[in-house]
Structure 1
Amino acid sequence: MKKFLLFSGLLFFLGFSASSQAHFTGKGHVHETAKKVQFFLNKDCAKNDTCSLKRLTLIVKNYEVGFADDPYPSYGNASVVEYETDSVESLEKYAVVQFIMGGVFYSSKNANGKIEKNIGTVVGSFGENVQFFFQEWVIDSYDLDPVYNSNPDDGRFYYLRWNKVPGSYESRTRQYYGAEKPNSPIVYLTDYPSGAFVTGPGAVNAAMKFKTCLYKAGDVPAKTVRSDINFAKPIACFEWQNIYMFDFDTGKFKTDKVDIPALFKELNHN
């Protein structure tokens, strides 16, 4: 657990800073191993009355985190979804909703050489703690409001972020939309899914797929259930993954595509 918290904390602290490819101390390192950027330009806006929306962007970075006292690095991804409108007043016309499939599981090799797998983690979802592995697509939200990073007390838009340094996503210069409105109509949200690492005789594995979508805010219900994935038609969606599964033969994590429903059945039969 300590290793997991250190790993998650480092990704949160480093975020998308320019220094994320460098060694953070003399005791370890954080390396950016890959980066993918997806764009949506709202060219056909008249057909769905969304001409105040200019663009939607998703940036996903893959990280390797090494600790000096551990021969096995940890791995994980981080994302930023950002949208731009024609005015600050138009920002609240749109809302980000994220969907997730899969989750986290533990694997180990027993004395007979058999690989054993099980789900031992819970996650907050729609106001309750549930097993952290979803067989099918569900809405990725802590509360009953599907809007990503919404809060029952502060509302849908408070935790949208903007940055005092244009083009930066560093936490040191980040501001919350609800605390102070931006000068430019650009806001973003971040995600740091659970990572993967070797621990004791086994490994914590990540097998997650995501769809990050933008909707008209008025089309997103104030409350629903996590399985209500077809509540409205999105303006645009981006798909990405956070998959790191440990191979005991090679001693390395694989990032190949995974059949999530089949893996779910395997995990529940062990």
Structure 2
Amino acid sequence: MFLWRKSFILCVLCTLSAHGGDSVILIDEEKYVATPACTTLGTCDVREIGFWTHRYRVGPKDETDLYDQSYGTSLYAWYETGSFDTLKDYVFVQYIHGCVFRSRSTSGGMELHHGMVRNHLDPTRTKAFIHPEWTVDSDDKDPVYNTHISHPDERHFFMQWNDNEGEFPKRRGNLYGKALPPKPRLYTTDLPTQAMASIYHDGSIWAINVSLEFRMCLYREKDIPKEVAIDTHIMAEPLACFDWRSSAVYNHEMKRFDTPTTIVPQCTQMAALPRRNAKGETLP
């Protein structure tokens, strides 16, 4: 049974802990928990699938200085099976659309820079953090979310577990690859780049802007290939999918961060930048 959900639940302003005297202020959250029905896929052992997002800002509680703030969204996704025998039969795959970019106010208007980079389906090279079309969100060639080339044959090594399953994780949990959980339940998290703005010595305002959409899906592990290309579309049927976004774009005219509900044009109007290695050298 394919499950898909998209809904927003506003909450009262909540203050969480943070380092350096700042506070993490919860702006809103979204939570969806499902118990999938048995299907012809043979997935009856999945007891629960859950997705939970927090949209937040980090900074002084009174928000008096915009340039002391940063804004972001984090995801917590988990699943639970009826036995340990089937725990590794399922994996998350995430898709991404949009970009992270820098903008600068000048006397003549605004400059746009796509200098933010990431690894995408290749851990040896970086590319501009821009995805004009939907694509698999993975640093290496394995489309399974949060795998790493250091453990190429252990797709669940970096999955996590903790003893406070009813709370949104505030720090990294126990790695499944190093210790077994007390019950057949695993989770993963995502914390995309935070948006922020700074005033430079010449009076110009530089901003890091985030306009990203995501879709996190749970699949049967055996249905997901070990490698994919950038334009690959996974044809397998997921057990569940969840759409979420991280959106904070600086409005240089109004001097504030906006939260567009669609991907901004700055993420669709640029050709891909040259690919570079870890030293910043251009690669063929």
> How would you bin the TM-score normalised by the shorter chain?
0.7 to 0.9
1:32, distance to aligned residue in structure 2 (A):
1.0
SS of 1:47's partner is: coil
- Residue 61 of structure 1 contacts residue 77 of structure 1 at CA under 8 Å; is this kept in 2? yes
- 113, 116, 130: which one aligns with 1:118: 113
Aligned-residue CA RMSD in angstroms?
2.3
Gaps of 5+ in 2: 1-13, 200-204, 273-284
List per-residue Cα deviations over 1:4-30 (Å, max 9, x = no partner): xxxxxxxxxxxxxxxx82453673222
1:70, distance to aligned residue in structure 2 (A):
5.4
Query: Match for 1:140: what amino acid?
Result: D
- 245, 254, 263: which one aligns with 2:266: 263
Which residue is 2:53 aligned to? Answer: 60
Q: Answer with 74-83 or 219-228: which moved more.
A: 219-228
- Residue 52 of structure 1 contacts residue 90 of structure 1 at CA under 8 Å; is this kept in 2? yes
- 252, 255, 262: which one aligns with 2:256: 252
Q: Answer with 246-255 or 235-244: which moved more.
A: 246-255
Call closer, same or farther: CA 1:71–1:153 in 2, change over 3 Å.
closer
Q: Answer with 22-31 or 184-193: which moved more.
A: 22-31
Query: Match for 2:119: what amino acid?
Result: G
State how far apart, in whole Å, the 2-side matches of 1:217 and 1:95 are.
Answer: 5
List per-residue Cα deviations over 1:106-149 (Å, max 9, x = no partner): 1122212x222221111011122111010001111111110011
State how far apart, in whole Å, the 1-side matches of 2:117 and 2:87 are.
Answer: 33
State how far apart, in whole Å, the 1-side matches of 2:143 and 2:172 are.
Answer: 27
SS of 1:221's partner is: coil
List per-residue Cα deviations over 1:21-80 (Å, max 9, x = no partner): 24536732221111100223202x233211011221110001111159954211001110
Which residue is 1:3 aligned to? Answer: none
Which residue is 1:7 aligned to? Answer: none
- 3, 21, 29: which one aligns with 1:27: 21
Describe how 1:197-212 pairs up with structure 2 within 5 A. 197-200=196-199, 201-212=205-216
Gaps of 5+ in 1: 1-19
Call closer, same or farther: CA 1:136–1:41 in 2, change over 3 Å.
same
Query: Match for 1:241: what amino acid?
Result: R
SS of 1:48's partner is: coil
1:175, distance to aligned residue in structure 2 (A):
1.0
Which residue is 1:92 aligned to? Answer: 88
Percent of paired sites with the same residue? 28
Aligned length: 247
**Greater helix share, structure number:** 1
1:235, distance to aligned residue in structure 2 (A):
1.6
- The yes-or-no answer on 1:188 pairing with 2:187 is yes
Call closer, same or farther: CA 1:87–1:256 in 2, change over 3 Å.
same
Query: Match for 2:54: what amino acid?
Result: K
> TM-score, normalised to structure 1's length?
0.84
SS of 2:188's partner is: strand
Call closer, same or farther: CA 1:172–1:143 in 2, change over 3 Å.
closer
- The yes-or-no answer on 1:75 pairing with 2:68 is no
Which residue is 1:137 aligned to? Answer: 134
State how far apart, in whole Å, the 2-side matches of 1:172 and 1:133 are.
Answer: 28
> TM-score, normalised to structure 2's length?
0.80
- Residue 137 of structure 1 contacts residue 229 of structure 1 at CA under 8 Å; is this kept in 2? no
State how far apart, in whole Å, the 1-side matches of 2:17 and 2:170 are.
Answer: 18
- Residue 63 of structure 1 contacts residue 75 of structure 1 at CA under 8 Å; is this kept in 2? yes
- Residue 140 of structure 1 contacts residue 226 of structure 1 at CA under 8 Å; is this kept in 2? no
- 225, 229, 239: which one aligns with 1:225: 229
1:104, distance to aligned residue in structure 2 (A):
0.5
